[in-house]
Structure 1
Amino acid sequence: MLTMQIDPPDTRRCAYTRCSAPLPYAGQGRPPEYCPDRRWDGNRTCKQLAAAERAGERAVALDVPLDAFRQAGDRFVPAAEALARQLTEVVTAIGTVRDGAVARIGESDRAARDADDRARATEAEADRRVEDADAHRATAEADRDRAETRAADAERTAATAKQEAEAAVAQAWQRATAADHARGAAEATAAQAVRRQDQAEQALAAQAERHRAEVGGLRADLTRVTSQRDAVSTALTTAESRAAAAETTAQTLSRDLAAARDELTALRAERNQLATRLAATEAARDAATAEVDRCATREREALTRARRAESRLDRLVHRAATVARRPIRPT
């Protein structure tokens, strides 16, 4: 690569032809023409050597061409400096363009690699979706086969249900008949339970009344024996014996009363069970009656349709007979 070293446009150089070193200039005052500190052979400065050079040129009659050359150089230097500035800008622009192009080329390479990666990923995703579609299609076909199998099973189940319904109608008639018999038996059992409950309540009432009477009598005897305790010890002993016997009788009566109450509770529970069974029997009878009514309604509807069909048949027969009796006209 070609590299050009171009001095800044404001750089000044030493006027001594053998030196031409850059001269530092701070921008203030008169610009320097010669190196201020450089020394040559004989400890002479650039300014001294330049003056000796000009004296020698004048000695050999070269001062006029050199002055012309210097004047031409003075005219050329500003143009050269402007050209140097332009070349500097051009070199800077070229470097900027070159760096930008290299950067864009790198970005293009990265974008191409990214696009290639995305294309590979897209192809892999497309392959996966094709595989998923094949799997879904196979699943759908299997579901369709299962649906057809279930439809066939449903048809068989419907036929079986129809047969079971016909059998259920026949069984409903049988259950209705059995329900009537069960209702009669339940009513008889309930009546017997009521009679047994009434008898138990009457027996309990009689026992309670006797118990109260005996307890009253015993209390009266006990009162009399107590008032005569000091005088009649024998009567007291007898009264105590009678009280003990009465207490035993009272306990026995209490146990009998508890047993009677338990029996009454059991009878009430049995009555409730019979009432529940009776209600269930009545519900079954009502259901069977409703089923019988529906069957009768269908039978009446079928009879009506049969009568209508018979009437239509009679009309058709009559019309056919009329047509048969009609004379045929000669053509």
Structure 2
Amino acid sequence: MADTVVRCGYSRCRAELPPPGPQGGRPRSFCRDTRWEQGRTCAQMARAEREALGALGLDTGTGAFALDADRLREHVGALAGPVAELSGALTAVLDRLDEIERDALAATEAARAAATESDAARQQAETAREAAERRARDAARAAADARQERAEAVARAEEATATALAATEALGAARQQAADAVAARDAAVVARDAAVADARAEREAAASAGRGRETAVLAARTAEHERDTALARADDLARDRDRVAGELAALRAELASVAGERAGLAETVAEQRSRLAGQQDALAEARAVADGLRAEHDAARAEIRELSDRIERVRAERDGHAAELERLRSATVEPAPVARMHPDDLAALAAALKD
């Protein structure tokens, strides 16, 4: 049963083929549904194998070379996996090198951008601090001016108060004089005609004193209004001073925050430099791995060259056997030796030629 099994003609497949159908037909030589690299069938792979062996000048019909070809195919198949892994590893190493270079460039650019932003923020903070100091100096000068104006207003108010007191005293004196005049009028009714002129003069003096009192009251009110205005302005200046002080404190806090951020950025830059150093170490390690993989690749290529040399030696041995076979065949057609050979020797030579 084993001798009647038909197998696929492709050396790497050798799968059992189904027998012909009930109606007969030509038996199959290759698998129909099996697919190999790039979707090729067993027949296509066998034809490519024959073409490759023909290009090498090898006889695909000899059993000895079929055995050597199978061993060569096994060696090549055994090397295909490591070579593919080596190629993949080299590709991964190159990709990792590119990734490390990209990360290093990105980290450097980010550190440079952070340092630029830190310098810009520091310059803005210094500009804001200088502006706040200028505003604080302006506010201090305005407060000093307000205090000076307040002192002047207080002095004017004190003068107006003194004037009002003097007017009040004059009014009191005028009232006393009016009372004395009334008493004198009551006492000197008889001398009324004589005292009319004096009474008129006294009334005019009283009227003049009343006008002076009103003027003093008006001046006092004006002084109080100026005082209130000066006090309000002084309060406004004090509030402005407090606001400017608050802004200055906020700017100082912002400057401290910027200084803290700058310190953080410095730490970030240091960390990025450390990471860059680590990446450079990883790059050196990857390069060492790549050198090792290149050495393995060179060893594999050397083994492939050794297999090629073995193929050449096999080919030379095959050519020697073919030459020997031709020599034996040419020796068998010579008439004289055959006539002198014994029949047993002729049978042995025929058996040797068949072997």
- TM over 0.5, shorter chain: no
Q: How does the TM-score come out when normalised to structure 1?
A: 0.38
The answer to which structure, 1 or 2, has the higher relative contact order (CA under 8 A, 6+ apart) is 2
Larger Rg: 1
Q: How does the TM-score come out when normalised to structure 2?
A: 0.36
